[in-house]
Chain A
Amino acid sequence: MASLPPIDLPSSATGAGAFDSPALEEGPALFEYLLRLGDDSLILGQRLGEWCGHAPSVEVDLSLANIALDLIGQATHFLGRAGEIEGKGRDGDALAFRRDVLDYRNCWLVEQPNGDFGRTMARQFLFSTWQKLLLRKLTGSADELIASVAGKAVKEVTYHQELAAEWVIRLGDGTEESRRRIGDGLAWNWRFVPELFEMDDLATFMAERGIGADLAALRPDYDALVSAVLAEATLEPPPDQRPILGGRRGHHSEHLGHLLAVMQFLPRTYPDAKW
């Protein structure tokens, strides 16, 4: 796989005190980091939930819904902890349902529309492969909550990754149509991959403290895993495109707002509703 040029952020986006990146302190930085972890899981869980009742077969329906459950379970832990760290009385639900789009810290990949099954599985494969490597690393996090959630979730995500990889292979090495669809799905999602490895000030700050992972260091393993699966699927890696960045700082595609409008409708319309 061709490697992409290093990410070079404009200094205005990285300078301490800049709008996008205020000076880092341990507590607020951990809060932001937990939002990144939790929002990735929450948003992808919500996206996969959209397939419920619409998947090509009942087995696929079950798979996508169960992966969504695992992801939302991760989000519950990470966002719950984020609320405690913040100390302003917000719990996981408040963070999930009462933040607006600019306050979300997920990567662009997870908020992308499902498209067809090929595009959904391409996204799942690219994300779960990364998340598996990330969580494996985070099992050694200096933060006890992050380490224990990672220890549980890595087992589940390994399963997600295997399932997605099997589908990439089956579709790629399948019929003419399935091959075209998974190829299109990979090409669509490819430009969102570099963001997964972006080491901005916050990611560096957390990695230096042994709480977060050095994402850039995960890239070689990621490339090897992706290449191996694509080769088995008889697919060529899509050509590299200009990376799209910004999700970690609250800059999102137009799709996220629509997703939140659906996800947050009930709690916003009936605040504090219980059943």
Chain B
Amino acid sequence: MVAAARLDETAPVWTVLDEVADPEIPVISVVELGIVRSVEPDRVVITPTYTGCPATQVIERDIRDALDAAGYRNVRIETALAPAWTTDWITPEGRAKLRAYGIAPPTRSAVECPQCGSADTEEISRFGSTPCKALWRCRSCAEPFDLFKCH
């Protein structure tokens, strides 16, 4: 059971990583965001979300700090550009946390207001406060909200 053995060995590292928050959206972890692509005994492979996302360097530093603090100084961090990150890699837990935080999770169907759940929404601006978000508005409850763009 090689797979199970590896899982056992890397499980504590996954736990550490799952406590590293995204610097821009602190309710979601780097694991839930799909940034962590794989964990092996001696390395963690991560991928950047957007090419120019300023959070990328902060994320790598935060992961380094968390690994060091948990005693994994010998685990190195590698960055892989391909395959390109996609919002499809955001976990179901991550999506639920985004919604609870007031950010509509990425969707290919109707955008639902994270406040009241209405699908009667409209785009205000294709870019929002960060490269990964667009600015939307709910016509039902009149609240503006961020939409995590499908990517």
Contact = CB atoms under 8 A, between A and B. Distances in A.
Q: How large is the interface on A (under 10, 10 to 19, 20 to 34, 35 or more residues)?
A: 20 to 34
The main secondary structure of chain A at its interface with chain B is: helix
10 contacts: A59-B124, A70-B51, A70-B52, A73-B51, A74-B52, A77-B51, A147-B82, A149-B81, A151-B84, A156-B51
Contacts, number: 72
Interface of B: 48, 50-54, 81-85, 124-131, 135, 149, 151
B47 to A, nearest CB: 9
Contacts of A145: 81
Contacts of B127: 59, 62-63, 66-67, 163
B85 to A, nearest CB: 7
A155 interface: yes
A133 to B, nearest CB: 18
Contacts of B149: 159
A69 interface: yes
B135 A59 contact: yes
Interface in A38-88: 45, 59, 62-63, 66-74, 76-77
A241 interface: no
Contacts of A62: 125, 127-129, 135
A69 B84 contact: no
B52 A69 contact: yes
Nearest to A59: B125
Interface string A148-160: 1101110110010
Contact of B81 (A68, A72, A152): A152
Pick from A66, A69, A156 the residue with the most CB of B within 10 Å.
A66
A151 B124 CA distance: 28
Contacts of A77: 51, 81
A162 B149 CA distance: 14
Interface string A198-237: 0000000000000000000000000000000000000000
Given A69-B131, A147-B82, A152 B126 contact: no
